[in-house]
Amino acid sequence: MTVTELKSRLDAGEKPVVLDVREASELAIARYPMDVLHIPLGQLPNRLSEIPAGAEVVCACRSGARSAQAAAFLRQKGLKAVNLDGGILAWSRLIDPSLPAY
């Protein structure tokens, strides 16, 4: 999913679960401007129960690499999950330039 697609869906009132798989230290630099579920990628296997059953999950990170891994893992576990292409860097570039790139 592209950042513009996610923004349009959020603006339309849709509420997918946005799963941010970055480390806590990265959240201190830049945060997605919506409610997110924060589970670092390395903790995901042990914290699957925190993801609402039946939810559509949009996996997000800095650039899209870790979130692609998370989305693939979640799909293997039977969840409906997609990757946010380009991550917060794309969000900063295309949606909200006030967010710092790091």
- Identify the helix (H) or strand (E) that includes residue 84: none
Give residue 18's identity as a one-letter amino acid code: V
CATH architecture of 3-94: 3-Layer(aba) Sandwich (3.40)
Report the percent of the chain where pLDDT is more than 70. 100
Q: What is the 3-state secondary structure (H, E, C) of 6-65?
A: HHHHHHCCCCCEEEECCCHHHHCCCCCCCCCEECCHHHHHHCHHHCCCCCEEEEECCCCH
pLDDT value of position 18: 98
Q: How far apart are CA 54 and CA 52, in angstroms?
A: 6
Nearest to 89 by CA among 24, 17, 3, 5: 3
- DSSP lists the bridge partners of residue 37 as 19
Judged against a pLDDT cut of 90, whether residue 4 lies above it is answered with yes
* Known catalytic residue at 61: yes
pTM for this entry:
0.95
Judged against a pLDDT cut of 90, whether residue 101 lies above it is answered with no
Phi, psi of 54 (to 5 degrees): 80, 0
Tokens of 23: 């480390």
**Which one from 61, 68, 84, 90 is the annotated catalytic residue?**
61
pLDDT single digits (tens) 14-61: 999 999 999 999 999 999 999 999 999 999 999 999 999 899 999 999
